[in-house]
Amino acid sequence: MNLFSFCLNRKKDIIEAPWKDYSSIFEHVKNNIDSTGKLSDNGDKLPDDSRRFKEDELRWVSGGMDGAFGHHGGSNQKIINKVAKLTKKISTNGKLEDKIELYNLIIEDNLMDFIDPTLEKIVNLNVYSEPHLHNWAKWLAFESPDRGAVKLGIALLGLVRNKEDLNKLLILGKHEEFTLFVAVAITNTFEKPETYLWELAKHVDGWGKISLVERLSETENPEIKKWMIYEGYKNSIMYEYLAYICATTGDLKAELTKNTNDAEFIKSSGELIEALINGGPAKDISVYKDAGSVIKLYLGQTIGIYTLDQFLVLNTIKSYLSDKETDWNKLSDNGWNDDLKANLLIDINKELSLPIWMDLVNEKKNSNDNVEFWKVDRAASILKIDMWEIHWQRLINNPTESGLWFNVMKNANDERIDQIIKLAMTKINLERISTGAGDNMGLGKEYQLHSCLDFILQDLDKFPGKGTKLILTALKSPVVRNRNMVIKALNAWDRTYINDEIKESIIAAEKVEPNEDVKKNLNKLLNRQPID
Kindly write down the DSSP assignment for every residue of 176-231, as one continuous string.
HHHHHHHHHHHHHH-SS-HHHHHHHHTT--SHHHHHHHHHTTT---HHHHHHIIII
- Residue 361 pLDDT: 97
At residue 17, the 3 state secondary structure works out as coil
Q: Are residues 304 and 336 in the same domain?
A: yes
What pLDDT digit, counting tens, does each position of 18-46 carry? 888 899 999 999 999 999 999 998 999 99
> Is 298 exposed, middle or buried (CB count within 10 Å of its CB: 0-12, 13-18, 19+)?
buried
Region label for 358, one of left (φ > 0), alpha (ψ between -120 and 50) or beta (otherwise): alpha
- Residue 445 pLDDT: 85
Q: How far apart are CA 481 and CA 30, in angstroms?
A: 38
Q: Express the helix, strand and coil content of the chain in percent, nearest 5 each.
A: 65, 0, 35
- Which residue, 301, 327, 351, sits at the end of a domain? 351
Q: Are residues 290 and 310 in the same domain?
A: yes
Query: For residue 349, what is the enclosing H or E element?
Result: helix 338-352
Q: How far apart are CA 48 and CA 62, in angstroms?
A: 13
Task: Give percent of the chain with pLDDT exceeding 90.
Answer: 79
Q: How far apart are CA 88 and CA 73, in angstroms?
A: 20
Whether the CB-CB separation of 433 and 473 falls below 8 Å is answered with yes
- Please state the rounded mean pLDDT for residues 422-427: 96
Task: Give a yes or no: residue 364 inside a domain.
Answer: no
Q: How far apart are CA 244 and CA 332, in angstroms?
A: 18
Task: Give a yes or no: residue 381 inside a domain.
Answer: no
Amino acid at 31: N
Check whether 341 has a pLDDT greater than 90: yes
Check whether 414 has a pLDDT greater than 80: yes
- Residue 63 pLDDT: 59
Q: pTM score > 0.75 for this model?
A: yes
Check whether 60 has a pLDDT greater than 60: no
Q: Are residues 203 and 236 in the same domain?
A: no
Check whether 399 has a pLDDT greater than 90: yes
- Residue 6 pLDDT: 36
Q: How far apart are CA 425 and CA 432, in angstroms?
A: 12
- Residue 73 pLDDT: 41
Q: How far apart are CA 115 and CA 410, in angstroms?
A: 47
Task: Give a yes or no: residue 447 inside a domain.
Answer: yes
Banded model confidence at residue 179, pLDDT cuts 50, 70, 90: very high
Banded model confidence at residue 65, pLDDT cuts 50, 70, 90: low
- Residue 69 pLDDT: 56
Q: How far apart are CA 397 and CA 532, in angstroms?
A: 38
Check whether 61 has a pLDDT greater than 80: no
Banded model confidence at residue 117, pLDDT cuts 50, 70, 90: confident
- Residue 54 pLDDT: 63
Banded model confidence at residue 12, pLDDT cuts 50, 70, 90: very low
Amino acid at 492: A
Q: Are residues 337 and 419 in the same domain?
A: no
Task: Give a yes or no: residue 40 inside a domain.
Answer: no
Kindly report the three-state secondary structure assignment for every residue of 42-108.
HHHCCCCHHHHCCCCCCCCCCCHHHHHHCCCCCCCHHHHHHHHHHHHHHHHHCCHHHHHHHHHHHCC
Q: How far apart are CA 249 and CA 213, in angstroms?
A: 10
Q: Are residues 271 and 307 in the same domain?
A: yes
Task: Give a yes or no: residue 21 inside a domain.
Answer: no
- As for how many domains the chain has, the answer is 3
- Please state the rounded mean pLDDT for residues 443-469: 94
Domain enclosing residue 432, as ranges = 411-526
Residue 487 vs residues 117, 475, 500, 504: alpha-carbon distances, Å: 48, 9, 16, 14
Query: In terms of Cα–Cα distance, which of 231, 226, 326, 322 is closest to 271?
Result: 231
Check whether 59 has a pLDDT greater than 80: no
Q: Are residues 249 and 346 in the same domain?
A: yes
Task: Give a yes or no: residue 317 inside a domain.
Answer: yes
Average pLDDT, whole number, for the chain? Answer: 91
Q: Which of 53-57, 476-480, 486-490 has the lowest mean pLDDT?
A: 53-57
- Residue 528 pLDDT: 86
- Residue 109 pLDDT: 67
Task: Determine phi and psi for 33, rounding to 5 degrees.
Answer: -85, 125
Q: Are residues 458 and 323 in the same domain?
A: no
Q: Are residues 167 and 234 in the same domain?
A: no
Task: Give a yes or no: residue 154 inside a domain.
Answer: yes
- Please state the rounded mean pLDDT for residues 274-283: 94
Task: Give a yes or no: residue 395 inside a domain.
Answer: no
- Residue 68 pLDDT: 56
Q: How far apart are CA 484 and CA 475, in angstroms?
A: 9
Q: How far apart are CA 202 and CA 269, in angstroms?
A: 19
Q: Are residues 202 and 263 in the same domain?
A: no
Q: Are residues 181 and 229 in the same domain?
A: no
Q: Are residues 171 and 109 in the same domain?
A: yes
Amino acid at 314: L
Q: Are residues 207 and 69 in the same domain?
A: yes
Check whether 15 has a pLDDT greater than 50: no
More confident residue, 141 or 13: 141
